[in-house]
Amino acid sequence: MYKDLEGNTAIITGASSGIGRAMALRFGREKMNVVINYRSGKQEVNSIVQEIEQSGGQAIGVYGDVTREEDVKKLVAAAHEHFGSLDVMVNNAGIENEVPSEDLTLEDWRKVLDVNLTGAFLGCREAIDYMLEHGIKGRIINVSSVHEMIPWPHFVHYAASKGGIKMMTETLALEFAPKGIRVNSLGPGAIDTPINAAKFSDPAAKASVEALIPLGYIGKPEEIAAAAAWLASSESSYVTGITLFADGGMTKYPAFQGGHG
């Protein structure tokens, strides 16, 4: 637990499930105020709010589509109205779909870039604008992926969106460091969440993913939430512009394990 996070206010986008949900619950245990953005899963959000309140934090659920400018503005306004501040912005909402690149429609390309990259940009812009206006040395966490680094055939739109997140994070980190605003990315490896539900329900597909992970297992959402809490806290005060990979070693060329190559 990080004492300095107590009473801080965070927005987490796409937080009704998976990694976002785990981050919301973790921030609740840190006794933070959490704006839980969701596009679907209202019931789930209600139970996350309850759990956060039971663990000593405060929370509200706010519906919104991160690709819509006015919805993202509403998230920041909700943080201000309900909790009087915005200290931590987590741009987590993301989607993917598998399509061989020669068949990828412009519509699918745009949809993924819109949610994963433009949505995160809007979150960064609105949060930074608020933090500058209120003199807050805030923290921005963009949820990227190992695929900002590892090419991923059949997911060119997803990989391009996460590669874009990397440069956006680095650029904003440089731009706003003089104001004390830290901007970092968090790069999960293969994590057990709804985005992977179909794949991991097939034992062969699951085993083929596990073979790519030096630590040997699919990560838990709570392990990503722990990394997010550290990035949000002052324990990472000298860290800006990085991608913190929480990936069980997936980005470390596992094919070379055992001296191959």
> Which stretches of the chain bind ligand NAI, using CB under 6 A?
13-14, 16-20, 37, 39-40, 65-67, 92-95, 115, 119, 143, 145, 188, 190-191, 193-196
CB of 95 to ligand NAI, least distance (A): 5
Q: How far apart are CA 20 and CA 11, in angstroms?
A: 10
136 or 183, CB closer to ligand NAI?
183
Q: Which positions ≥6 away from 135 have C-beta within 8 Å?
A: none
Least distance (Å) from ligand NAI to the CB of residue 16? 5
Structural contact between residues 58 and 34, judged by C-beta atoms closer than 8 angstroms: yes
Phi-psi region of 55 (alpha: psi -120 to 50; beta: other; left: phi over 0): alpha
Residues 150 and 159: their CA atoms lie apart, in Å, by: 8
Of the candidates 2, 130, 158, 217, the residue annotated as catalytic is: 158
Query: Running DSSP on this structure, what letter comes out for residue 224?
Result: H
Report the first-to-last Cα separation within the chain, whole angstroms: 42
Q: How far is the CB of 82 from ligand NAI (least distance, A)?
A: 19
Torsion sign, CA atoms 50, 52, 54, 56: negative
Task: Give least dist CB 17 to ligand NAI, A.
Answer: 4
Cβ-based neighbour number of residue 115 at 10 Å: 21
Shortest spacing between CB 187 and ligand NAI, in angstroms: 7
Cβ nearer to ligand NAI, comparing 19 with 89: 19
Q: Are 5 and 81 in contact (CB under 8 A)?
A: no
* Residue 112 near residue 86, CB atoms below 8 Å: no
Is 253 tagged catalytic?
A: no
Nearer to ligand NAI, 115 or 168 (CB): 115
Choose between 77 and 195: whose C-beta lies nearer to ligand NAI: 195
In what order do the strands lie in the sheet containing 243-246? Answer: 58-63, 33-38, 9-12, 88-91, 139-143, 182-188, 243-246
- Name which of 60 and 95 has its Cβ closer to ligand NAI: 95
Task: Give catalytic residue positions.
Answer: 158
